[in-house]
Amino acid sequence: MKIFNLESKKGEKVFGYIDMFEYPHGTKEKLPIVLIEGNESGASFLLSGNIHGDEVHGLVTLQEVIKKLDPTTMKGTVVIIPTLNPAGLLTLTRSPFYDRADPNRLWPDPKPKKEPKLKYEDPYDENLDPKKHPSIQESFYKKFSEYFDQFDYFIDLICHSVRSFPYSYIDRVYFDEEKEGEKDKAQQLFDQAYEMVKAFGFTIVFEDPPKHYFRQDLHRSTTGSFLNKNRKPSFTVELGASSLVDLDIVKAAKTAVLNVLKWSKIIDGEIEEIESIPILREKLWREILIRTKESGFYIPVVKHGEIVQKDEVIAVVHDIFGEVKETILAPDFGTVMAFYDDIRCYPNSEIASFLVENTVDVICPWEYEEKEEKKEEKS
């Protein structure tokens, strides 16, 4: 396998760097990469981490995976990128200093384009359109994505927040409903991705439902773009605390990555149970938000990952003197995925992510959100 100027070799680990772009002072930003090719043919897997520079669990996990993999006993190829955001890693910031956009929203857009019909044509339209002039970060990701066709599977390892437990995010699969057979193909793709994420072994959470998914540009995330543009299985892993390293999380994530490599027949061995972190298997989950109604200081009264019943108290809001101003109840049977790091709150502040049973379609036509808007207008 060849990625830019690096080429893998059978039975070896090839370590190197890819030139991303040139800084104004003449040095180059470089992306570290490892190509590990087995002696026998097999599947190809891309593993990446640290696309947000302050989220380090993926970086440390992939370092452990690199050390563990033995190319002389492997089938196929594993390509590992410990950090997709080297500049952000050096400053421990979500985005690199040269491009403040979220780097996990800059991958190729898989959504079919429908240009509006304009009565007035502006000769400088393209000059003024920021989408026609991508940043250096976006340009590099586009170049890198040209190699995606070489991979059968992709997992990206990122982090959520200090008070969250690790879980796997699986994207919904979108399809063109005007093309015959596309819905069935989308279902098959989702089923493949779902089998892969089950083999990984973490709690499974479906990505945001369509309207919010597109508002957040999640279809342009690493694995959202890979899944829906390249039509191959992928998913994102959220590994809890961001700039802190928890060895229990690293242990669980390393085991889970190796589980998937076993599932894909790249390495031999039995899939192992994850034991060092909580795993919720009771339901297939989706995320909603918990908000406050009062200003004050919110205090959790349950642990994230702890199963709660509907209307069970999960947090309280205190005033400055410690008196309770608001009691926050669980909206349904489920669990708190994460309490956000800030203690302060105001009316409508988001203080937590809560998991409820998923009831939204896992495959959707591309025009889904537009049709929903039209339905709302009619009603």
Q: Per-domain residue ranges for the chain?
A: 2-116+123-263, 285-356
CA 90 distance to own-chain centroid: 21
Q: How many whole angstroms separate alpha carbon 74 and alpha carbon 263?
A: 13
Q: How many CA atoms lie within 13 A of 54 on its CB side?
A: 14
| Alpha-carbon distance values, 343 to 277, 304, 314 (Å) | 25, 15, 14
pLDDT at 112: 86
Please, are residues 226 and 234 in contact by the beta-carbon 8 Å criterion?
yes
Question: CATH classification of 2-116+123-263, choosing from 3.40.50.970, 3.40.630.10, 3.30.1130.10, 2.60.40.10?
Answer: 3.40.630.10
Question: What are the C-alpha distances in Å from 169 to residues 164, 244, 352?
Answer: 14, 21, 17
Return the pLDDT at 244: 82
At 120 the pLDDT is 76
CATH of domain 285-356: 2.40.50.100
What pLDDT, on a 0 to 100 scale, did the predictor assign at position 377?
47
Exposed/middle/buried for residue 8 (C-beta within 10 Å: 0-12, 13-18, 19+): buried
Which 3 state secondary structure label does DSSP give 10? strand
Q: Are strands 296-300 and 344-345 parallel, antiparallel or unpaired?
A: antiparallel
What does the pLDDT read at residue 368? 55
Q: What is the pLDDT along the chain (379 residues), one digit of tens a residue?
A: 999 999 999 999 999 999 999 999 999 999 999 999 999 999 999 999 999 999 999 999 999 999 999 999 999 999 999 999 999 999 999 999 999 999 999 999 999 877 767 777 788 888 888 788 999 999 999 999 999 999 999 999 999 988 899 999 999 999 999 899 999 999 999 999 999 999 999 999 998 888 889 989 999 999 999 999 999 999 999 998 888 899 999 999 999 999 999 999 999 999 999 988 889 987 789 999 999 999 999 999 999 989 999 999 999 999 999 999 999 999 999 999 999 988 999 999 999 999 999 988 999 999 755 454 444 444 4
